[in-house]
Structure 1
């Protein structure tokens, strides 16, 4: 009970505390990065499905389907924007938390912020809070590796993070935050079979659409004083008893208010699955430091951590297929939005021919290596020359962070697909200004249908 009460009291008081300057800046980075994910994700099947579904559900006009000016309920706006945010594999992640925070927490925060007509001050605090709570909940469950999980940490982390963000913005008092926690626990769900989804639609639902929707629902119930049991987190037949593998309850409140998990989250330089980030780093390094063409390649070997091998090895979805993306990057000598998501490239004869030369190796050594998600790329050229790079520190991770210039460059690279000058104003607004939610939503309206 002490742990639960400390947690819920912290959520109820979070907006009254200031963020450290560095944490506020990092939060702006993750807000911008997620907006890039939402707006570009609207062009892909998960984003399109979420948009079409939500705009036809009716209800109060509380929040916007971002990229357009259509307003729906906060619940349906969170759902649709969440589906879009995980559509194109450019959203952020948290390695220790084992989930993608931004694709759910940011849509939930923006939906409630618009419903309540709030500004950047509250928005940034609520986003940072969501990362803090989501990460602490998943790490407290004690899952050893992604491969051993039955329940999906990729849905458990987001729903608790979203609920905290939404609850704070709704100004829930301490008792209402206990209700919030209980109804969030009752709606926590998701199984790790998401990684067999061939179309990325159920995956987007698990990672963000479902979690955002459910968390906002919990927050609104708590706001209306739907009462609950008193000890749903650690009590008998409660959350930890049902979901934890090796329970570590003290981690739920460890360093709350001192250690901000958004400062330890990873941004993606590349619009591809997280385990492939290091592979794109490796390709970029070899292209920059050696004079060769993809036609000069005789064979290529990629070593992948064994605990993530099944996620990216020879997948049929372009943006999470290691072999496909390595081939495309080597041929196109860049990896932007179109290179990562153009399905026509998957059957392009030149890409297919190079893909056939790529051998993948499942490495237990790399699975144990720290920092995580390393890879090793070896290329043998036709003349016998050997090229090798060990991508040991992925760009965008806390060990090798992206700075303001990197975030801006990535955003502009992906926003090129719209050919709209408003995207430059949106970047500037998020990174450099205090703003109202109304101003933010207007800049986000790119008339995406």
Structure 2
């Protein structure tokens, strides 16, 4: 597919897309011949709920556009890192796929800075009532440099606190009464003292879970303005808040499961299911594991609260599909991105993925009770701050540096040293 990039120069491409919007995209047919009918989409959903969800999405797309040939070209492994490496190389070599699975927001800044993504406000975002149906947080993430370059498909919430109902009841803890992250320490102590369970399930094998936990603590203990200032690199101005939040996470640590350093997040989550841990902070993908357990029903066996202190905030992790320049199939890609932004696509994809739609007008009937409650909280949220740990709030280089800082933290639990690493991360 890359062989056509030379013949389709940027000027021809822009002329073609301009003509296309005027003539309902029809005029590109002659220009591009058969090539426009092959859509190459790369993603990392190769197994489990992700594979089911993207399968359902493409099924719906093919029903609407049977003449477009879809070439799914997935790259598995590395929690998306492998795909990101492949895409970076292809895009910088002016040989991109039609579109790919990408975290929106600051994660896309390397591409917008290199002028490798097209403005799709007219061709995509002005259709399907998208601008009215998306809240401000997802719309901001779709415009990392001020213009629309990508379409968010799903939302995973970051600031959840899950718990095993029988464990916290036995401990005498009411999760709804915990008002801020520092107060959670006392609740974890109660679980630890009054039951055989660990206060909090957690993994410290890799740094991202603790980075995610720490940013949620920063948001809950010190507010949205402080969190936003941190993501913009104002570290020294917020030294006290940053160190205080690191100390709170360090205080949680004594109530983690003993094998935190040798398990992944799924094994940690199993402890909540088995009644061996009271609380668990994680994105709402954790609930997908509960859904698969017979006899472990929401809200009687497991439940959740918004992470203490973050009520009214919906911290976003999202996947999106951008529109690269030198696009090998401009017309097919435009149709695909319009579809990704539609009610039909988001209704098919999200219930299977265990995520919620960024559109607020998708019918709730296909979703279970937990996701329905998340959809309601999203719709009513005052702000939708982007996740740092998933690269929506900081660019890839900064994220790597912050992950390194967190690796320092979970190996030494030294607040001052971790703070110094954070000041250098930006």
TM-score (norm 1): 0.29
TM-score (norm 2): 0.30
